[in-house]
Structure 1
Amino acid sequence: MKLMAVTDDSQPILVLAQKIIQIQQIVDYIQIREKTKTAKEVVTLLEYLDKGAVPKDKIIVNSHLDIALSNGIQTIHLPERGLSGQQVKDQYPQLRIGRSIHDYVGAMEAERQGADYVLYGHCFETNSKKGKVPNGLSPIHEMKKNLKIPVFAIGGIHVDRVQALLDVKADGIAVMSGIFSATHPFAAAHQYREAIKDAIKL
């Protein structure tokens, strides 16, 4: 099971860069999801990460196709209703594409359009989706029966919920506030990594 850290769009660029550099060796991927930041700020963040020796193959840029291309980032993450994955693949076949989805139908469509993985959520109650009923884990069962691409789960994933996600055969978990809002992001990321290891042993 892979571990993806997703930035929470609530921190200054330099602070965020420092946190990412701290956790880079523990997580498998870091998704840069800074929707309120300017393009210049996102580019500056990527420059900090480059100086901090964060491998580019670990970085995923959310939505900003132009920034990914101009900075040599090979993975772009698209929202459920955004650029067509097929169009992006046709123009830039070298790119790896992720797609946010919220149900089985969306997952199948994402795969049909050339997505290399899907990010399904939100699985549990979470402050970032306050008041919205979670989509639960059962759709992951159906996805894993029929999809050929990996399924990542996001939304309210605490350390003690890792086992439940492994039980439904999720290929990975994506964590936002559990890592980036933690007092000690390195320790928090390490806890998730250990929880994954422990769940796999059972």
Structure 2
Amino acid sequence: MNKGIYVITNRKLIQEGTLTEIIESGVKGGAAAIILREKDLDADCLMEIAIKLKEKAKSNTSLFIINGNYEVAKLAQADGLHLSFNNFMSFQEEFDGILGVSVHSLEEAKLAEQNGANYLIAGHIFETSCKEGLKGRGLDFLKKICESVRIPVIAIGGISEHNISNIMNCGAYGAAVMSSVMQSKDPENYICSLRHKLNL
């Protein structure tokens, strides 16, 4: 697992350029991992994008992770598979790579670790445009999770240059960002600036 910035894709948020261009730029900026999360696509379309993005990720040693689709993750030989908590708890397939799980409570975090998760994405920490009207769970929530599990915890939700050092002070292993990168005019420099705040 790489420490740092985890970029989650959402092609519908892109205002300029293509998903491939944004990921290429983000990888140049030193993204620790790219998580391909395009829930509306069928397996064939997802696979097509996966092949392109994996190539970009590998050009700079970023991890390449598929969200929610075991078959595509296996066929694309992705580094990791990321699942929702419920899907992870019922997941019975063999997967050689990293298994990540989204958690929204301390109980979920502990259960995910006990059942073999390699890392957690915990959130949402701050208010975010992706979850309008929902209050963030806050830094205390994040700190409790980081103190209660031994596996890496990646924080998500409203993370920016202004608050990223706070999540790392809670013990987080990194930060997951989506809308801010997808809508950035310069993902490379944006991720560089986030990494700079982490002294990475």
Distance (whole Å) between structure 1 residues aligned to residue 174 and residue 84 of structure 2: 18
Equivalent AA in structure 2 for residue 119 of structure 1: I
- Partner of 2:89 in structure 1? 84
The two structures have a TM-score, normalised by structure 1, of 0.87
Q: What do residues 5-24 of structure 1 show as CA deviations (whole Å, max 9, x unaligned)?
A: 11124159x81011111221
Query: RCO (CA 8 Å, sep 6+): is it higher in 1 or 2?
Result: 2
By how many angstroms is 1:62 displaced?
A: 0.1
Which structure 1 residue ranges, 5 or more long, are not aligned? none
By how many angstroms is 1:140 displaced?
A: 2.1
- Partner of 1:27 in structure 2? 31
Residue 181 of structure 1 pairs with residue 195 of structure 2:
no
Distance (whole Å) between structure 2 residues aligned to residue 147 and residue 51 of structure 1: 32
Deviates more, 1:66-75 or 1:51-60: 51-60
Equivalent AA in structure 1 for residue 147 of structure 2: K
User: What is the percentage of aligned positions where both structures have the same residue?
Assistant: 26
Q: What do residues 75-131 of structure 1 show as CA deviations (whole Å, max 9, x unaligned)?
A: 00001221437624xx23x22100000111110011011100000000001010001
Distance 1:2 1:52, change over 3 A: closer
Q: What do residues 39-88 of structure 1 show as CA deviations (whole Å, max 9, x unaligned)?
A: 22211112223454635861110001000101111300001221437624
The two structures have a TM-score, normalised by structure 2, of 0.88
Total equivalences in the alignment: 194
Distance (whole Å) between structure 2 residues aligned to residue 53 and residue 177 of structure 1: 19
Which of 49, 54, 63 in structure 2 is aligned with 1:58?
63
Distance (whole Å) between structure 1 residues aligned to residue 168 and residue 57 of structure 2: 31
Determine if contact 1:9/1:37 at 8 Å carries over to the other structure: no
Report the RMSD for the aligned CA atoms in angstroms: 2.1
